[in-house]
Chains A and B, each alone.
Chain A
Amino acid sequence: MSSKGGSPISRRAWLGATTGAVAAGLIKTQADAFKLDAQEVQVAADPTKVPGRLVSELGQRAPREQPRRLARRPGLSSSSGTPLQDLCGTITPSDLHFERHHAGIPTIDSDEHELLVHGMVDRPTVFRMADLKRYPEASRIHFVECSGNGGGAYNPERMRTEMSPQSLDGLLSNSEWTGVMLSTILQEVGVQPGASWVLAEGRDAAMLSRSIPLAKAMDDAMLAYGQNGEAIRPEQGYPLRLALPGWEGNAQVKWLRRLEVSDRPTMTREETSKYTDPLEGGTARQFSFVMDAKSIITFPSYPYVLPEQGWWEIKGLAWTGRGKITSVEVSTDGGRNWTEAELQPPILSKATVRFRHLWNWDGNETIILSRAIDETGYVQPTVQQLWEARGQRTRYHMNNQRAWKIAADGSVTFGLGELI
């Protein structure tokens, strides 16, 4: 990774790892820099001649597989990205789920954590975690994406060639969430006529709060306490978070402690000063919750190097907050021609889907792109289309197409600048 990406790895170490990898005919990513530690691991010359180690209470990754989150800024960073280019499939390992918080990660004891539900309800109620876990449970696979994800592909002053999927779009993760549907709890407390909004508030030092339309709360919103088979990680809201499938991450309030049913929004700082979209013409778009369709090629991408021409499989992720992805198209000639990629089932609503496209690279410099199409007929737009619709001042919902430039020497860099 470049030093601009905030990586703790020295460029020298990184180059060393890369050079060795290319010489060996392999392809390498940022995670490889951490694999230098593997040299110090005792490796049997012939594992078939030495008994292996015994069982353990807690498993760990192979020394050579050490993906890491990447902090956005060195030091006091409030966000870190998932290493999209190092992962396969669609589920994000929980310890690599992206982080974004506004006042640090609180330490909370689930045994004493309480959720207060009040306002326009018949029975204002305090729920402890044990209470919530007695209700009928549901599990669902959904992506979470920060609506501020991907500014490097939208705002010209933030665009760089040395951006990886992680440093560009790492504030995207996909997990199986388990909990109680919010509709179950709202039924339990009795929502009164005339109610139309629910204020959700966290127990962090920002007491982060967002107003959620009651319709969403009644639809597919969940009070989640599980993530990929275990309790939600502290970074993702332990012991309880609001899960709003398909909506921007900020609204999916973590460390949830209060829900107030109301007939109007509170107009919190996070839904007025932030997470709104100033448009051309002097207006600003508010309550822009839904994440529109988006895709990104995660291989080949920066900082991979293709060691030779020939058959390579282009791989990536696509997702939409409006339901299911219906197709993903890939271009290997800078956007002139597009071919439908293969989608890996199951294709779930409001979840990431893996796409693949087998490509015979002729060794010439080119630019590859992807565009996602969802079930509403929405086609992931070009950056020019988004600029035309919104101007360049918005800082959220930057879901335009991403591009990678493959140089003749096989090196890959972020290539959208070449198309502007």
Chain B
Amino acid sequence: MRQALALLSAVLIVGCGAPEVDRAPGPSDDGSAVLASFPSNAPDHFGFGSDASAARVAMWDIDVKPDGEGLPPGSGTVAQGQRVFLTHCVACHGATGTEGPNDRLVGTAAWEQWPNGQTVGNYWPYATTLYDYIRRAMPQLTPGILTSNETYAVVGYILNMNGLVPADAVMDAATLPAVEMPARDRFVLDDREGGPEVR
């Protein structure tokens, strides 16, 4: 997929030569009179805005990538995660992560076995996405309430309920990216490209 993603970028960049920037404000495919041209007397650099210090960036840079980049220090166990789950998650996801009313989290049968549908266990391709998403958006009514340790813990518990880590697992910046997700290799890049073929 990594190779394919590089390819996607390359394909999309055709005619653009990134990171060099064509200063035109619109794409060449448009040719529409609604497009204004970029001012010919614009300087190379305007200098508006203010420098972002490393500390400033660190304050907001919360995303976690599949290789673990962005994961904070800390750790959590499956047992601790169960307590977090029963406190913050059951109302929307059910006691076993299957009852809803919101997204079903647990299920190892292939997603084709509708209506069980897509779960963390059978569909999510990267375990790191759990940390990223829970930290930014969960619990739904009190986002941001969980500590790093609690987040690691509840991620571990959800993975454990899906049979992906053992009951004595400890989740941290090293172990989480190493979790093998069953659907990891089932994702393919969009192959629609216009033209007469329906995809």
Distance in angstroms between the alpha carbons of A393 and B22 in the assembled complex: 40
Q: Which of A54-62, A228-236, A335-343, A381-389 contacts B (4 or more CB under 8 A)?
A: A381-389
Given contacts A197-B9, A278-B118, contact A131 B63 (CB under 8 A): no
**Closest CB of chain B to A145's CB: distance in Å?**
15
Q: Which of B52, B62, B125 contacts A267 (CB 8 A)?
A: B125
Across the interface, name the chain A residue whose C-beta is closest to B14.
A215
Residues 6-34 of chain B: 1 if any A CB is under 8 Å from the residue's CB, otherwise 0?
10110011101011011111110110111
Q: Which of B8, B19, B36, B186 contacts A195 (CB 8 A)?
A: B19
Task: Give chain B residues whose Cβ lies under 8 Å from the Cβ of A191.
Answer: 18-19, 21
Distance in angstroms between the alpha carbons of A193 and B18 in the assembled complex: 8
Q: Which of B22, B64, B196 contacts A266 (CB 8 A)?
A: B64
Answer whether residue A258 sits at the interface, using C-beta atoms and an 8 A cutoff.
yes
**Closest CB of chain B to A401's CB: distance in Å?**
12
Distance in angstroms between the alpha carbons of A349 and B8 in the assembled complex: 23
Distance in angstroms between the alpha carbons of A33 and B18 in the assembled complex: 53
Answer whether residue B136 sits at the interface, using C-beta atoms and an 8 A cutoff.
yes
Distance in angstroms between the alpha carbons of A258 and B132 in the assembled complex: 15
B12 touches A213 (CB 8 A): yes
Given contacts A191-B19, A378-B195, contact A131 B49 (CB under 8 A): yes
Given contacts A187-B21, A214-B19, A216-B12, contact A349 B32 (CB under 8 A): yes
Count B interface residues, CB 8 Å.
77
Across the interface, name the chain A residue whose C-beta is closest to B50.
A126
- Chain A residues within CB distance 8 Å of chain B: 102-103, 116-118, 123-128, 131-132, 134-141, 181, 183-184, 186-188, 191-193, 195-197, 199, 201, 205-209, 213-216, 218-220, 257-258, 260, 262, 264-269, 272-273, 276, 278, 282-290, 292, 322-323, 346, 348-349, 374, 376-379, 381, 385-386, 388-390, 393
Top-8 shortest CB links A-B: A376-B194, A215-B12, A191-B19, A196-B9, A207-B136, A124-B52, A269-B133, A288-B190
- Chain B residues within CB distance 8 Å of chain A: 2, 5-6, 8-9, 12-14, 16, 18-19, 21-27, 29-30, 32-36, 38-39, 42, 45-46, 48-52, 56-57, 60-66, 103, 110-112, 114, 118, 120, 123-126, 128-129, 132-133, 136-137, 140, 143, 183, 186-196, 198-199
